[in-house]
Amino acid sequence: MSLVPIFFVFLFSSVLAASRECTGPAQIGSTQELDAIRGCQIFDGSITIQNITSSEDLLNLSQLQKVHGDLVINGNADVSQIVLASLQQVDGSLKFQNNRQLKRLDLTQLTAVQSLEISVQPSLDAIQFPSGLSQIETFTVTDTIASKIEGLVAGKMKDIKIANNIYLKDINLNHLQQVGGVISISANSPNLSLDLSSISSIYQGDFRNLARLIGLNQVHQVTGDISFIGNTFSSLALPNMTQIAGTLTVSDNKQLQNLTVPQLQALGGALSVANNTQLTHVEVPKLQQVDGTVDITGNFEKVDLPSLVDVRGGLNVQTSSSNFSCEDVNKLKGGVTKGHEFTCKSNVSNPKSGVSLNNGTDTNHDGTDSGVDNIQVTWISLISIIISLLIK
Ligand SMILES: *[C@@H]1O[C@H](CO)[C@@H](O)[C@H](O)[C@H]1NC(C)=O
Ligand SMILES: *[C@@H]1O[C@H](CO)[C@@H](O)[C@H](O)[C@H]1NC(C)=O
Ligand SMILES: *[C@@H]1O[C@H](CO)[C@@H](O)[C@H](O)[C@H]1NC(C)=O
Ligand SMILES: *[C@@H]1O[C@H](CO)[C@@H](O)[C@H](O)[C@H]1NC(C)=O
Ligand SMILES: *[C@@H]1O[C@H](CO)[C@@H](O)[C@H](O)[C@H]1NC(C)=O
Ligand SMILES: *[C@@H]1O[C@H](CO)[C@@H](O)[C@H](O)[C@H]1NC(C)=O
Ligand SMILES: *[C@@H]1O[C@H](CO)[C@@H](O)[C@H](O)[C@H]1NC(C)=O
Ligand SMILES: *[C@@H]1O[C@H](CO)[C@@H](O)[C@H](O)[C@H]1NC(C)=O
Ligand SMILES: *[C@@H]1O[C@H](CO)[C@@H](O)[C@H](O)[C@H]1NC(C)=O
């Protein structure tokens, strides 16, 4: 009888045991289960650490360097520190969700991850990537008490969502050049400063509740919608923007005095300007074509759209100023505007935005829900695009 087969069986089973330890998926709910993977440097597969019952408040996986899968750390109520000090790369998603005591997150070596989500972390006050997080597609930070986000140095990203971080005063994305999806920033600190000074291309953008916005000077085209809502800056300039394929919304910016879009020629959606109470002059000097509707309401004294030759949808201009004359706007009726609806009013106490295509019947909203109005405007532009296609 030979010992060789027994030797192979032994070898095989020990290799299996060693690799099984660092092979996922691993579902971890206790310190003992965590101990089993503590020695792994490279993990093949996904790790989920959820509802861990632990006497310690430290979750230490400081050997781990790479995860070929997802790493999800979720709902660990007592954990106050997560140490992933050697982690360089996660091929899938890295998620920290709902770890309510989490105060310190050590991601010293992290440089590459497909998507990172940090959400509902009500004790986490700093988000830092000391080695520079340079490869990332999707970045989400919501409901934390972080005051800054440091070390996000990617040049190209897909989606970015940063919302409801009420102490967040500074977002530095000055390495970012391209956003292939949606960038959405809202409801962070009212004193938030956003630096996007290298950006040249955005698919879609939603910028809300910002005190300062640095950048957008080089952006030439937007493929989807772009909106600026509830910001407190006094001036908004899109000096190099020539085309927006979707809707441009500028509303509820109570301190906005200057809106400058000197090169904009075409809007695939609507032009929606509402409730910017300090904005006295709306001027889009090169705008020729709007496939959706033109909806401008507020307290302005002057609207200048000297190049406008084609509005596929309707038009609604209403101001509370008594100094405004509808004379110029009325010249657009019929020839330039194709939609059924045409309204121009000055000296109205409560300007109403929202144009409807309901067969010419006026169903103006009373402006209490700008969200609904924006959705409505977007639908209208869609419908009007479809109608104009059908007519062709
Ligand atoms: C974790 O806890 C939540 C709430 O207590 C529960 O709904 C969920 O099923 C738990 N998940 C696991 C994997 O134990
Ligand atoms: C985490 O564990 C490593 C050993 O794996 C140890 O060297 C390190 O000090 C621990 N970190 C903390 C913060 O305790
Ligand atoms: C807001 O931020 C600016 C600098 O970004 C600072 O000078 C100013 O004091 C801050 N204001 C408040 C109220 O925190
Ligand atoms: C404006 O956009 C064009 C075309 O993308 C580009 O060549 C030019 O450098 C941009 N100008 C500025 C000031 O960014
Ligand atoms: C608005 O623009 C004009 C001319 O470009 C400039 O003189 C003025 O300082 C700007 N006002 C604000 C508040 O930025
Ligand atoms: C504006 O409206 C007020 C109240 O409706 C009216 O008294 C006033 O004469 C109007 N002014 C102009 C210039 O039409
Ligand atoms: C109307 O315009 C005149 C001069 O253009 C100005 O003196 C007056 O203050 C303006 N009135 C209002 C209500 O803005
Ligand atoms: C729309 O208006 C046209 C004529 O203006 C009318 O014939 C048609 O019945 C109306 N459609 C609806 C759904 O009201
Ligand atoms: C305009 O601002 C007022 C007061 O803040 C708000 O109640 C209303 O909903 C806003 N309307 C629109 C269309 O944004």
Share of the chain above pLDDT 70, in %: 85
| Token couple for 242 | 């020539």
Cα 157–Cα 376–Cα 192 angle in degrees, nearest 5: 45
The Cα–Cα gap between 144 and 381 comes to: 36
- Mean pLDDT of the region 176-195: 96
The model's confidence at residue 295, banded by pLDDT at 50, 70 and 90, is very high
Q: Residue 324 Cα, ligand 7 centroid: separation in angstroms?
A: 9
Residue with tokens 């997080």, as numbered in its chain: 133
Q: Residue 19 Cα, ligand 2 centroid: separation in angstroms?
A: 23
The model's confidence at residue 285, banded by pLDDT at 50, 70 and 90, is very high
Atom of ligand 5 nearest to the CA of 234: 13
What is the set of domains in the chain, with CATH numbers? 23-124 (3.80.20.20), 133-211 (no CATH), 220-392 (no CATH)
**Taking the model in full, what pTM does it have?**
0.82
Give the ligand with the smallest distance to the CA of 299: 7
| Mode of pairing for the β-strands spanning 271-274 and 248-251 | parallel
The Cα–Cα gap between 239 and 391 comes to: 34
Q: Residue 360 Cα, ligand 8 centroid: separation in angstroms?
A: 9
365: helix, strand or coil: coil
Q: Residue 275 Cα, ligand 1 centroid: separation in angstroms?
A: 45
**Probe target for ligand 5 pocket from 257, 260, 261, with the most ligand atoms within 8 Å of CB:** 257
Atom of ligand 6 nearest to the CA of 323: 13
In tens, the pLDDT along 173-185 reads: 999 999 999 999 9
Q: Over the chain, what is the mean pLDDT?
A: 87
| Token couple for 239 | 């000096």
- Mean pLDDT of the region 111-124: 97
- Whole-angstrom CA distances from 336 to 5, 48, 301, 317 are 87, 59, 22, 15
The model's confidence at residue 387, banded by pLDDT at 50, 70 and 90, is low
Q: What are the φ and ψ backbone dihedral angles of 119, each rounded to 5 degrees?
A: -140, 150
Tell me which of 13-22, 41-50, 102-111 is least confident.
13-22
